[in-house]
Amino acid sequence: MIEVIVGCLFPMMLTPDSLSDFQQCQVTEEHIENVIPWYSLVSDYFKEEDIPRALGIIHCESSGRPTAIGNNSNGTRDVGLWQFNDKTWAWLKPKLGIVSDRTNPKVSTAVAAWLVYNDGWYHWNSSKHCWKGTSNDLLYVKKKS
């Protein structure tokens, strides 16, 4: 995979046969660039085998932007790296004694890890179509950074 990324950054020759691989490589590179800044933080809270999935979710939910806000059709908002919904955050705040807001990457990552290990990954199922296929590519973030 590292060779593919290097080839992606410095393609020797693009041919019709290699175009699909080059395009996939560009997508993988974008995913990696979005989450490199969060690798260390995520590794502080998630088990090693769960880091690729966690980074994939960050990429798919917020493109690595801790202040990202998504407005939903029901009037709620999804906020932060992990795009915690208003209702989910309201449920977790008293339960975990959270005093920070969702845009704090350290707090939101700690809360995401607690949620995963106590309730499961299903909270991010709405973006699973995105992160399910990209998580394995993100295994190479540590090697690349």
The residue type found at 97 is: G
pTM of the model: 0.74
Structural domain count of the chain = 1
Please give the DSSP secondary-structure letter assigned to residue 98. Answer: -
Q: Which domain holds residue 55?
A: 2-144
Give the Cα separation of 141 and 36 in Å (integer). Answer: 6
Q: What is the pLDDT along the chain (145 residues), one digit of tens a residue?
A: 333 333 444 455 556 666 555 555 555 555 667 788 999 999 999 998 898 889 889 988 998 999 999 999 999 999 999 999 999 999 999 999 999 999 999 999 999 999 999 999 999 988 887 777 654 444 444 444 4
Which residue in 34, 83, 40 sits closest to 59, CA to CA?
34
Task: Give the chain's end-to-end CA distance (angstroms, integer).
Answer: 14
Instruction: CATH number of the domain at 54, please.
Output: 1.10.530.10
- CA dist 4 and 22 (Å) reads 8
